[in-house]
Amino acid sequence: MAEILPFRAIRYNLDKVAASEVVTQPYDKISPAMQDRYYDASPYNLVRIILGRRQEEDNPASSVYTRAAGYGKDWLAQRILQQDPLPSLYAYSQSFAVPIGKTFERQGFIGLGRVEDYSAKVVFRHEQTLAKPKADRLELLRATRVHYEQLFLLYEDAGEIDSLLDSARSTTPAIDVNDEYGVVHCVWQISDARVIAAVQKQMSDQKLVIADGHHRYETALNFRDECRRAADRNCDPQAPYEFVMMTFVNMNDPGLLILPTHRVVHSLDAFRVDEFAAAVEKLFVVENIDSAIDAARAAELLRERGQHGTALLAATKDRAFLVHSIKPAGLRLLAGLSARQQDLDVVQLHKCLLEGVLKLSEESIRNQQNLSYVREAAEALSHVRGGWANVAFLMNPCRVQQVRDIALAEEVMPQKSTDFYPKLLSGLTAYALD
């Protein structure tokens, strides 16, 4: 049973600051250049809290985490941040365009969701997590006792919940802001108790799949368990730490898009193109294609071949190959995996090509020792053609239904298998535990 609650969100006071100057992309999508830009945009930009600058003299008593807590308290005292008076849900829409020129709108809502162990079979993951980012986020949560960023959860219905929220939305959103990628983010506060109760009822039988935010969800789990241990026998099932701020989006929303994340392999001393191609041919059907292929044509070829099964495009400095139709020798490398996983392009890439042909270990892949992840196909191609990398692998995006099936089967995908676009903007709402 998915338990959803309204909450009194902490939000920026837009009479004192401009939304465009204080919001950010999620912390793990902020590059050093973006961090600098956010710092310059406003002294109240959320980056100071979610991804502050570290200093040489940092120590446990004075650190990036204690400074984050101080900013949050100071901004509340200055009324830069303020808490809504009424428990609410927050309808959230994102309007955006994709490179092919088509525009979309993705709708959802922000609320609190109960933090559930995976064994409860209410919240499902599709990715493994790493210890280091979870330790970082846990230190931040301990210091601030505020969830400043939303988790991205998927549910599935025929549109009933969106209809309920649409009926309660005012004409003018409470927040209307464009991000640096041209995405328009709008938020409406919904405090009508009858609408909230109807949404809660519709959500009560939902199974929730984490789209983005696996590390922060497991951080919320770890923090909840810490608080439970501290409370000992006085645990309150409705305690604030039993919930976390989430944005819920319908899996059937036409604006729910996943982009591919391409792989670039570099720094392999023994890499030989002819040997690589011969090894791949033992595992897949390989078609030589124009070595000068551009990103647009590569995406077109992948889409066409992907309609008939899995497909990858491998490019080196002087050659390019379309890789598809796995052979029995390739299937043997997938032994032990479910049919759901075996059918994924990303699994065939990792198990057959990265591990099987290039001999990259699972640990080296996790640590990104010889592997980089790139969103733009043109950038991946430029790495190999410029001689910086050995080989680039271009991919089709994973489908939402594949994510759903893997998650509900309690299986996981390799790292960076999904890139939901656009990201949820940070700085729209926050959830205070005190």
Reported pTM: 0.94
Domain limits, CATH 3.30.1760, in the chain: 261-396
Residue 120: is its pLDDT beyond 80? yes
- CATH code for residues 261-396: 3.30.1760
Coil, helix or strand for 314?
strand
Of 105 and 57, the one with more pLDDT: 105
Find out whether 389 and 396 touch, Cβ atoms under 8 Å: no
Residue 351 CA: distances (Å) to CA of 366, 377, 398: 13, 21, 16
Q: Which residue has the higher pLDDT, 393 or 169?
A: 393
Contact 134, 222 (CB under 8 A): yes
pLDDT in tens, 210-255: 999 999 999 999 999 999 999 887 789 999 999 999 999 999 999 9
Type of residue found at 299: A
Structure tokens at 227: 């608080």
With tokens 């992948």, the residue in question is 302
Give CA–CA dist 324/309, Å, rounded: 8
| Separation CA 191–CA 411 (nearest Å) | 38
Residues sharing a CB contact under 8 Å with residue 431, sequence separation 6 or more, in sequence order: 7, 9, 10, 112, 146, 147, 243, 244, 245
Q: Report the pLDDT averaged over residues 7-33.
A: 97
Q: Mean pLDDT over residues 190-200, rounded?
A: 97
Contact by Cβ (8 Å): 274, 146 = no
For residue 49, which of 70, 78, 18, 28 has the smallest C-alpha distance?
70
Q: Provide the pLDDT for residue 265.
A: 97
- In the prediction, which pLDDT does 100 show? 62
Q: How confident is the model at residue 98 (pLDDT cuts 50, 70, 90)?
A: confident
Task: Report the pLDDT averaged over residues 6-35.
Answer: 97
Q: Say what the pLDDT of residue 231 is.
A: 87
Per-residue pLDDT reduced to its tens digit, 271-293: 999 999 999 999 999 999 999 99
Dihedral of the alpha carbons of 168, 246, 140, 367, in degrees to the nearest 10: -140
In residues, how long is the chain? Answer: 434
Q: pLDDT at position 170, please?
A: 84
Q: Which amino acid is at 45?
A: N
Edge-first strand order for the sheet with 311-315 is 284-289, 320-326, 311-315, 391-395, 262-265, 371-374
Mean pLDDT of 163-169: 93
Half-sphere exposure of 98 (CA within 13 A, CB side): 17
Measure Cα distances from 376 to 11, 263, 381, 393 in Å.
33, 10, 9, 12
Task: Give the mean model confidence (pLDDT) for residues 172-184.
Answer: 97
Pairwise CA distance, residues 208 & 244, whole Å: 13
**Least confident span in 74-88, 229-243, 311-325, 340-354:** 229-243
Q: How many whole angstroms separate alpha carbon 312 and alpha carbon 315?
A: 10
- For 153-182, the DSSP string reads EEE--SSHHHHHHHHH--SS-SEEEE-TTS
- CA-based torsion, 289, 294, 295, 300: positive or negative: negative
Closest CA to 330 of 280, 274, 277: 280
Task: Give the pLDDT of residue 99.
Answer: 65
Q: Give me the pLDDT at residue 291, please.
A: 94
pLDDT higher than 70, residue 181: yes
Cα–Cα dist 181/316, whole Å: 30
Going by pLDDT thresholds of 50, 70 and 90, the confidence category of residue 128 is confident
Q: How confident is residue 176, by pLDDT bands cut at 50, 70 and 90?
A: very high
Cβ-proximal residues to 165 (8 Å cutoff; 6+ apart), any chain: 89, 91, 107, 109, 188, 190, 195, 199
